[in-house]
Structure 1
Amino acid sequence: MAYRRFNLRAALLLGAVLVASSPALAEAVLHRGNAGEPQTLDQAHTSINIEEFILKDLYEGLTIYDATGKIVPGAAETWDLSDDGLTYTFKLRGDAKWSDGSPVTAEDFAFSFRRVEDPKTAAGYANILYPIKNAEKVNKGEAQPADLGVKAIDEKTLEITLERPTPFFLELLAHQTALPVSKASVEKNGADFVKPGIMVSNGAFKLVSHVPNDNLVVEKNSNYWDAANVKLDKVIFYPIDDQAASVRRFEAKEMDLVYNFSADQIDRLRGAYGDQVHVSPTLATYYYAFDTRQEPYSDVRVRQALSMAVDRDFLAKEIYSGSQIPAYSMVPPGIETYGEPAKADFSGLSQLDREDKAIALMKEAGYGEGGKPLDIEIRYHTNPNHERVATAIADMWKNTFGAKVSLVNLDVSSHYAYLQEGGKFNVARAGWVADYADAENFLALSLGSNKTFNYGHFQNPEFDGLMKKSYEETDPAARSKLLHEAETLLMKEQPVAPLLTQADLWLVSGRVQGWHDNAANQHLSRFLNVSE
């Protein structure tokens, strides 16, 4: 017995040495470039995808996008929908826990949704949950948060009642605004609940540290219900909006993922890195917004003329190396429930004919050669691609109308904060990536009641009326017709000038496993791994 015990002990000691020195058990760390500093880590105030990428690693909604961009169960294991399409009953996972070990409850979700709609919260994206019964009334102060159509039946059963049948509701629940917060943590910590060392999250990772404009570190959450299948130990996000610097760090093998590199580098990078360069078509529109509150942008003729004078083919081919498609509709192609989008009526003209028509419209409005001078300021957020687009458009407007055009840029967070807070401007660059695959998501940006994303403060009762009817219409074909009528009107009025249908540009290191390009641009770190 003594001999056997000795050998067992020796074997255990040898095993410990081997385990300690095994590279297979080294810490698995993913280094993610994230294209900018997040404005917030509060679900109720998030609005851009560089925040979404982080938040969806930290938190898990009732539904999530899997690695291929499909909606699958998240914190909810199952759900049922009533025959009238108005009531969802979600069963939360029995082993769903917060990072502090406490259970994730139905009341946490009900509390979170009420918090988003409570006008005191001032959530910029509150409208994403408007399909929930009384959500819009609560958000506008016409009803109390307690009146919201969410109810915790028991600890693990959540009932959500809708205003009307909403075919894309499960997609809405995968949006970052619908991510839950821990009721106990928010009530205890207030606004500090987002800070490292305080944040309690229910996703695959937990927040460890955040050095603004340097890095944000998350580590595997051992209390996550599917922790056994999470292969990464740590993810480090780098908020770099300098695209050239991001590419250099990728080439130096300091970063595994780079989001939105400069499009003029596509050919060079493909030559050097082959299939590590990903150009993924997506449901997204690159557009310019006009501030309709002030002259001359309050004049539809001026907006139409400026839009017509933009050579979208040049932008797509010369600036984006063919990775983007010229756009003449606000809704991108590829939405099954909508079909072919409604394009601006000048889309069928040659660029020369557009310019001739644009000059005539501008002259009729009293601007340009022989009329009032055109002084235009284009705002955009720091990015070489956006700078090249703005410079090209400035040149087009100068050559066509004799306009004097200046450029102003801010970092991405400041740029969107300025627009969302109602700052005045002339023309501003913006982009919209589908929150869900439905035309309404793009058209609703221009509703008069949309105080957050209607950057140009466009007001048109006829447009609003068509959208209202579409919300009340349950027949899919009739609803699609109403949305097409609304888009036709929007493209006639041009408060927004769609320029390009976008593609997502990613650099994905060969050491990253589990990556799938998808139109939803969803790449949760829990589905990824790294190998040496």
Structure 2
Amino acid sequence: MKRRKIGVLSVALTLTTALTAACGGANGDAKSTSSGESSNGENLAADQSISVGVLNELSTGDTLLVSDIGTNTAMNQYLEGLYRLDENNQPIPALAEETIVSEDGLTYTFKLKEDATWSNGEPVTAHDFVYAWRQAVNPEKAAPYSYMFTSVVNAEEIINGEMTPDELGVEAVGDYEFKVQLNVPVSYFLGEMAFMPFFPQNQTFVEEMGSDYGTSSDTTLSNGPFILTGWDGTNQAWSYEKNEDYWDAENITLESIDIQVIKEVSTALNLFESGGLDDAILSGEIAKQYVDHEAYVVEPEARTNFLQFNYTDVPMLSNAKLREAFSLVLNREELANTILGNGSLPAKALVPHDFVTNPVTGNDFADDAGDFLTYDKEKAKQLYEEAKEELGTATIEIALVADDDETSKLVGQYVQGELQNNFEGLTINLTNVPKNNRIEKGQSGDFDMILGGWGAILPDAINLLDIMNSETTFNNGPYKNEEVDQLLNDAETVNANDPEIRWQNMLDAQGLMLDEKGFIPLYHTAEVHLRNPKLKGVEVHSVSSRYDYRNAYIEE
């Protein structure tokens, strides 16, 4: 697991205008009030309940164990931390009534709202944050995002077993004041406060539930605008019910949100057209057929999907010519535009366009980086034959693992087909599994090649590039290049105060990884939705939690 120190940024990297505008989407209307009329003068429907289709099951109810965007998004509806993201992906106060930052940027003092409660009736206090953060760095917890806490005093030493969790640089100054001491200033620290691992946990409840904590809605507490109900830990349907005890309940209009896991596009479409869904996810040919539909919405993500290789257990994948052949034979334009047809874009590198700009020059990171990924079938075949000769084999058999939703199946089948059809003697055995299982297989090394992805939780290129660091939790290969590791660490520490050098560190790290095809980026993701035009106020984020329904409402 990566143990990193995050340095100060003199100027925070910002989202470019294009992506920021996209995040508002077609549903970024004004929020509703509880008076029977929305704030833009539209009448509210009598029934303020909606049904939404999603692609994946919930993986956990424990904020410290979440490792996928889908579950992170679910938690965003029924949990609340110090900050949350607004419609432009910027952090705004949630439970934090007041935030005081010391002049040197090393001390954060959060004064909490005193009327926030858990769904068991207990108040949300500073002690809940102290408990959760100490658990996050406790090696026994094995929290996948523990490395994100290493800017906090003593966190790295605790994670490494050199100190105890109660020595973490956090303190409850009374019941409603939470103080954090940092090793170095972190300009995007408040943005991290909107991410689930930094949320509070009620110690009494967690310890009472023991190993069952977070395994069902009955063993999970809520403190957000909605309450999680109807989840037994494995089922594919659950609900968010309005939390009448939420501190801002009077401004929450939706009464309930019913969630269904739907992995087949045709099923989602049929449910939408029959009124059984207010929000359905489409892809492939069906998505292309609905471009002109009034409910059609395209939502970009700051995420790149790619192929990862098992370098530890499958030595042949360390052959650079074989990996480059695999990359060259894949037509990313065809994959994104013809196979997926959902607004996803062909990858030319790992970091997408319209994500971050240089704080000094204003240049887009992707423009400065240039294109690394090309399509050349003939060169691919030549390199493949050379690779087989170097490996001393005439046949190669590789297992490929992918998620079991329809989009992932399309991608997996495309990759399987292009590789097998163009390379003599190659067999690709494709297995589709639920996303939770794919993540487990990736982290345990139970794969040859795996189709995964990495989405940003902060508007900073390092947040995507971190996946290339050999010590990062989700670098499943693991891919390891000491120079890449050093460049990324320099960008986060010694050069963190020099935006131009830091920028070049990140460009160089990405360039090295892509030159040797450490991963093979395929496409930058987007989703096509059919969303009920009467459903307004849904906030869509390109980073971290994808959706926020606290301002949503149904018009008459």
TM-score by length of 2: 0.84
Could you tell me the percent identity over the aligned residues? 28
Question: What residue ranges of structure 1 are gaps of 5+ in the alignment?
Answer: 1-22
- Residue 456 of structure 2: aligned partner: 434
Residues 317-356 of structure 1 correspond to what in structure 2 (within 5 A)? 317-321=337-341, 323-338=343-358, 339-341=364-366, 346-347=372-373, 351=375, 354-356=376-378
Q: Per-residue deviation at 1:370?
A: 9.0
Residues 135 and 304 (structure 1), Cα distance of their counterparts in 2 relative to 1, 3 Å cut: farther
Q: Find the residue that maps to 2:119 and give its secondary structure.
A: coil
Of residues 394, 417, 431 in structure 1, which corresponds to 2:440? Answer: 417
Partner AA of 1:246 in structure 2: A
Partner of 1:477: 500
- Two-structure CA RMSD over aligned residues (Å): 2.4
Are 1:179 and 2:199 an aligned pair?
Answer: yes
Q: Does 1:292 align with 2:314?
A: no
What displacement does 1:104 show?
Answer: 1.1
Q: By how many angstroms is 1:371 displaced?
A: 4.8
Q: Which residue in 2 is equivalent to 1:74? A: 94
Q: 2:125 matched to which residue of 1?
A: 105
Equivalent residue of 1:270, what SS?
Answer: coil
Greater Cα shift, 470-479 or 136-145: 136-145
**Quick check: 233-242 or 190-199, which moved more?**
190-199
Determine if the alignment matches structure 1 residue 398 to structure 2 residue 420. yes
Q: What do the CA deviations read for 1:355-382 (whole angstroms, capped 9, x no partner)?
A: 3333343333335999532222221111
Match for 1:188: what amino acid? E
The separation in 2 between residues aligned to 1:518 and 1:124, in whole angstroms, is: 22
Of the two, which has the highest radius of gyration?
Answer: 1
2-structure distance, mates of 1:288, 1:404: 16
Partner of 1:53: 73
Asked if 2 retains the 8 angstrom alpha-carbon contact of 1:257 and 1:506, the reply is: yes
Which string of whole-angstrom CA distances, capped at 9 and with x for unpartnered residues, describes residues 113-159 of structure 1? 11111111111222233332332332232321122222112211111
Letter in 1 for 2:381: I
- Give the length in aligned residue pairs: 501
1:189-246 deviations in Å (ceiling 9; x for gaps)? 2233434344332111122322443421222112211111011122221122233212
With over 3 angstroms needed to count, the CA separation of the structure-2 counterparts of 1:75 and 1:358, relative to structure 1, is: same
Cα separation, 2, equivalents of 1:251 and 1:401: 43
> Contact between 2:50 and 2:258, CA under 8 Å: does it hold in 1?
yes
Paired AA for residue 229 in structure 2: V
More divergent stretch after superposition (105-114 vs 512-521): 512-521
Secondary structure of the structure 2 residue equivalent to 1:455: coil
Q: CA deviation at 1:289?
A: 0.8
After superposition, where does 1:107-146 map in structure 2 within 5 Å? 107-146=127-166
192-201 vs 378-387, greater mean Cα deviation: 192-201
Q: Deviations over 1:248-269 (max 9, x none)?
A: 21111111122x4223212322
Structure possessing the higher relative contact order (Cα contacts under 8 Å, 6 or more residues apart): 2
8 Å Cα contact 1:292-1:495 kept in structure 2: no
How far apart are the structure 2 equivalents of 1:340 and 1:96? 40
CA deviation string 1:325-363 (max 9, x = no partner): 11121122223345323758754x5x3xx3333334333
Unaligned 5+ runs, structure 2: 1-42, 359-363
1:512 maps onto 2:529 in alignment: no
Report the Cα distance in structure 2 between the residues aligned to 1:457 and 1:84, rounded to whole angstroms.
37
Maintained 8 Å contact 2:304/2:351: yes
Q: Deviations over 1:17-66 (max 9, x none)?
A: xxxxxx97955212121212111111111111221222111110111013
The whole-number CA distance in structure 2 between the counterparts of 1:467 and 1:216 is 40
What is aligned with 1:463?
A: 484
Counterpart for residue 201 of structure 1: 222
Go from structure 1 to structure 2 and tell me whether the alpha carbon gap of 1:128 and 1:243 turns closer, same or farther (over 3 Å shift): farther
Q: TM-score by structure 1 length?
A: 0.88
Q: Post-superposition shift, 1:408? A: 0.9
Relative to its length, the structure with more helix (as a share) is: 1
Q: Contact 1:35/1:240 (CA < 8 Å) preserved in 2?
A: yes
Alignment match, 1:449: 471
Give the structure 1 partner of residue 105 of structure 2: 85
CA contact (8 A) 1:283 1:333 kept: no
Judge which range, 397-406 or 150-159, deviates more.
Answer: 397-406
